Amino acid sequence: MSGPLLALRPRALGDVVLVTPALRALAAGHPGAELDVVTEARYAPLLEGLPGIARVWPLERSGAATAALARRLAARRYAAAVDFFGNPRTAFLCARTRAPLRAGYDLRGRRGAYTVRVPRTATLPDGRREYAAATHVRLAVAAGGRADGLDARIALAAPAREEAERLLAAAGVGEPARTVGLVAAGTWPTKTWPLADAALFARRLIAGGRPVLALGGPGESDLVARLAALAPGVRVLPPCGVAALAAVVERLAAVVGTDSGPRHVAAALGVPTFAWFGPTHPDNWNPPGAAHGHWFTDVPCRGCDRTTCPHWTCMTRLDPDEAAARVVAHLERHGR
- Please state, in angstroms and rounded to a whole number, the distance separating the CA atoms of residues 21 and 132: 10
- Please state, in angstroms and rounded to a whole number, the distance separating the CA atoms of residues 292 and 271: 9
Task: Write down the pLDDT at residue 1.
Answer: 63
pLDDT digits (tens, 9 = 90+) for 141-200: 999 999 999 999 999 999 999 999 999 999 999 999 999 999 998 888 899 999 999 999
State yes or no: pLDDT of 336 exceeds 80.
no
| Per CATH, domain 158-334 is 3.40.50.2300 | no
Please, is 174 exposed, middle or buried when counting C-beta atoms within 10 Å of its C-beta (0-12, 13-18, 19+)?
exposed
Q: How far is CA 55 from the centre of its chain?
A: 20
Strands 101-105 and 116-118: parallel
State yes or no: pLDDT of 125 exceeds 90.
no
Intervals of CATH 3.40.50.2000 along the chain: 5-142, 158-334
Task: Write down the pLDDT at residue 61.
Answer: 87
- Please state, in angstroms and rounded to a whole number, the distance separating the CA atoms of residues 230 and 58: 39
pLDDT digits (tens, 9 = 90+) for 95-119: 999 999 999 999 999 999 999 999 9
| Per CATH, domain 5-142 is 3.40.50.2000 | yes
Q: CB under 8 Å to 336, separation ≥6 — which residues? A: 177, 253, 254, 271, 272
What percentage of residues in the chain have a pLDDT greater than 90?
93
What rounded mean pLDDT belongs to the chain? 96
pLDDT digits (tens, 9 = 90+) for 227-268: 999 999 999 999 999 999 999 999 999 999 999 999 999 999
pLDDT band at 91 (very low <50, low <70, confident <90, very high): very high
